Chains A and B, each alone.
Chain A
Amino acid sequence: EPEVTQTPSHQVTQMGQEVILRCVPISNHLYFYWYRQILGQKVEFLVSFYNNEISEKSEIFDDQFSVERPDGSNFTLKIRSTKLEDSAMYFCASRLQGGLNTGELFFGEGSRLTVL
């Protein structure tokens, strides 16, 4: 069964360092997402991406964050200068369609980021 894969599964970094989290969405999906979940808290929307551009972003997704789809398969989330409060599980998700004909979101297993 096709799945969303994420790397790394766990990354430990020093405050102020840049981090890139990688995702390979399901191959025929068109909509891509990043969510984050701080330990014990809710799954929070960060950004959605469609047709090679950001379609929506939350207030969490400030100038320190960026996303890119550098080739036909990868979808990356970059945090330029990490802060302690960026420590969380980051989930990538994809789906085939959006809008009124939407279907389910397929999530990866997450990348746990620990900022020291």
Chain B
Amino acid sequence: SQKIEQNSEALNIQEGKTATLTCNYTNYSPAYLQWYRQDPGRGPVFLLLIRENEKEKRKERLKVTFDTTLKQSLFHITASQPADSATYLCALDVGYDMRFGAGTRLTVKP
């Protein structure tokens, strides 16, 4: 069956450190993968998209990697801040639709 697994339900780190979140998938062949941020009671907000032919994508303090051989994406937040505390979702394309992982809840402590 198809699965999208985000390895940690919750991740706690100290302010200033780098947060690394993992997304693994099985029985999908996505052409691209996206990462979203979701705050409590709010809708997901798009952060980054990476295509299958791209190894790495950066946007300010965010970095995403995509390894189609390992079927894995890593999402990094460098110099983390308490304001980065949220749930981060990875999403895979399934034709014209997107399917989401369960998310990793990140808490950045001052």
**B86 part of interface (Cβ distance < 8 Å):** no
- Say which one of B12-20, B21-29, B63-71, B97-105 lies at the interface with A: B97-105
Q: What's the Cα separation between A45 and B93 when bound, in Å? A: 12
A residues lining the B interface (CB < 8 Å):
4, 31, 33, 35, 41-45, 48, 50, 55-56, 89, 91, 93, 98-100, 102-110
Is there an interface contact between A55 and B96, defined as CB atoms closer than 8 Å? yes
**B34 part of interface (Cβ distance < 8 Å):** yes
Task: Across the interface, name the chain A residue whose C-beta is closest to B48.
Answer: A104
Chain B residues bordering chain A, tally (CB within 8 A) = 25
Most buried by A among B44, B45, B93, B100: B44
Is there an interface contact between A104 and B49, defined as CB atoms closer than 8 Å? yes
Is there an interface contact between B45 and A98, defined as CB atoms closer than 8 Å? no
Give the Cβ gap from B86 to chain A, nearest Cβ, in Å.
14
Task: Across the interface, name the chain A residue whose C-beta is closest to B42.
Answer: A109
Q: What's the Cα separation between A110 and B40 when bound, in Å? A: 11
**B110 part of interface (Cβ distance < 8 Å):** no
Is there an interface contact between B96 and A42, defined as CB atoms closer than 8 Å? no
Q: What's the Cα separation between A103 and B91 when bound, in Å? A: 12
Counting from the closest, the 3 A-B pairs by CB-CB distance are: A107-B43, A104-B46, A98-B96
Q: Which of B36, B43, B95 contacts A99 (CB 8 A)?
A: B95
| Residues of chain B within 8 A of A102, CB atoms compared | 32, 93, 96
Task: Across the interface, name the chain B residue whose C-beta is closest to A33.
Answer: B97
Most buried by A among B34, B46, B89, B94: B46
